[in-house]
């Protein structure tokens, strides 16, 4: 499936469906769109976008969020009253904002603000834990992240924060974003390294590849660290064997191949950036040849659409 917003009729129909979703989707219906592993089970289509919009409306309503709350402002969200019983809803809202920005807002003016909204609700979910708040106040954010048990908030908070930082990586480095998001991702690995199809390995691989090229400092582009994390989630023994000083995170799990974005990230953040066009084409061809499947219908369909676009660029270099 593809995103289609060309015809005026489609836009009008989408607006009407959005209104319907906002009016009719309740919290129970919104939560039912996640499977037992927390994966969003909606199609990659206009219909899926409408469902996602309805989920966001339902989660905001359940939290009591009003339209005058600036969710893209961290201070405003931190001042908003929420209790610990609502952690799941907070985490689902952060995930929904990430999904909306990642799949349906690419290149839109609302893309970065939507990631920021997800980041702030993820941080809110972490900080309503009194122990997290106390450690952050005394020892800093990284120390607090290292003791948190809130996997969903850590993962979606870090994911949305990293995506927002991609708009200006150098600014993010000097603002201290890398140390905080790395601490969150490393804690996710400790809690459940297979969460979201080994998502924190995928995120950290892109993280080290996406940092700016600086002459010194801890947080600068590091291809070896990037490849080490990638080698946990992609079955590329020859590529991985070429790096003698990459970190070793253990054997590859074939289940990681079922989630296409693991391989797509390798292509996007590592192979294309390093001009490894033949490897990139081979992997993109593999992703496009496989069925989307039932486990990850939303993200695998998106990955195939992106793979088609990447393939056009890759083939120009062959």
Q: In terms of Cα–Cα distance, which of 102, 74, 121 is closest to 166?
A: 102
The residue among 15 and 270 whose pLDDT is bigger is 270
What is the model's pLDDT at position 23? Answer: 45
Cβ neighbours around 75 below 10 Å, total: 9
pLDDT single digits (tens) 116-156: 999 999 999 999 999 999 999 999 999 999 999 999 999 99
Q: Which pLDDT band holds residue 39 (cuts at 50, 70, 90)?
A: very high
Q: What is the Cα 159 distance to its own chain's centre?
A: 4
Q: pLDDT tier at 2 (50, 70, 90 boundaries)?
A: very low
Which carries the bigger pLDDT value, residue 3 or residue 52? 52
For residue 200, what pLDDT is reported? Answer: 98
What is the mean predicted confidence (pLDDT) over 27-33?
96
| Across 124-128, 233-237, 241-245, least confident range | 241-245
Residue 268 in tokens: 């996007």
| For range 264-274, the mean pLDDT | 98
Burial class (CB in 10 A: 0-12, 13-18, 19+), 108: exposed
Long-range contacts made by residues 248-257, C-beta under 8 angstroms, separation at least 24?
A: 249/201, 253/194, 253/198, 255/194, 255/197, 256/197, 256/198, 256/232
Two tokens, residue 142: 């990284």
Tokens of 37: 């592993």
Query: Residue 179 — pLDDT band, cuts 50, 70, 90?
Result: very high
Q: Which secondary-structure segment (H or E) carries 48?
A: helix 46-63
Measured distance CA(165)–CA(203) in Å, rounded: 13
Give the residues across from 40 on adjacent strands: 34
Q: What is the pLDDT of residues 180-215, one digit of tens each?
A: 999 999 999 999 999 999 999 999 999 999 999 999
Structure-block tokens of residue 80: 């908003």
| Predicted TM-score (pTM) of this structure | 0.92
Q: What does the mean pLDDT of the chain come to?
A: 92
> What is the Cα–Cα distance from 287 to 282, expressed in whole angstroms?
9
Cα–Cα–Cα angle for 47, 164, 284, nearest 5°?
A: 60
Q: In terms of Cα–Cα distance, which of 228, 233, 73 is closest to 164?
A: 73
């Amino acid at each position: 499936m593809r995103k289609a917003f060309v015809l005026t009729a489609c836009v009008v129909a989408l607006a009407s469906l959005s209104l319907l979703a906002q009016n009719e989707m309740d919290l129970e219906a919104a939560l039912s769109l996640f499977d037992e592993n927390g994966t969003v089970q909606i199609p990659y289509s206009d219909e899926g976008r409408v469902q996602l919009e309805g989920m966001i409306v339902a989660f905001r309503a359940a939290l009591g969020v009003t339209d005058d709350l600036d969710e893209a402002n961290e201070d405003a969200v931190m001042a908003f009253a929420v209790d610990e019983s609502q952690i799941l809803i907070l985490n689902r809202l952060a995930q929904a904002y990430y999904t909306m920005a990642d799949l349906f807002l690419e290149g839109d003016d609302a893309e970065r603000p939507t990631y920021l909204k997800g980041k702030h609700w993820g941080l809110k979910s972490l900080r309503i834990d009194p122990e997290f708040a106390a450690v952050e106040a005394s020892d800093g954010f990284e120390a607090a992240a290292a003791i948190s048990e809130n996997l969903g908030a850590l993962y979606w908070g870090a994911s949305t924060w990293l995506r927002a930082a991609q708009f200006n990586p150098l600014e993010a480095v000097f603002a201290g974003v890398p140390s905080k998001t790395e601490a969150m991702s490393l804690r996710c690995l400790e809690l459940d390294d297979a969460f979201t199809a080994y998502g924190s390995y995928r995120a950290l691989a892109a993280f080290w590849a996406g940092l700016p090229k600086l002459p010194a400092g801890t947080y600068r582009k590091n291809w070896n660290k990037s490849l080490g994390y990638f080698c946990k989630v992609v079955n590329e023994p020859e590529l991985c064997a070429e790096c003698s000083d990459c970190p070793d995170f253990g054997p590859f799990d074939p289940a990681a191949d079922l989630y296409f974005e693991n391989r797509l990230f390798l292509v996007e953040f590592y192979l294309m950036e390093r001009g490894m066009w033949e490897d990139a084409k081979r992997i993109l061809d593999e992703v496009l040849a496989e069925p989307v499947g039932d486990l990850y219908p939303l993200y695998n369909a998106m990955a195939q659409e992106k793979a088609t676009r990447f393939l056009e660029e890759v083939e120009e270099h062959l």
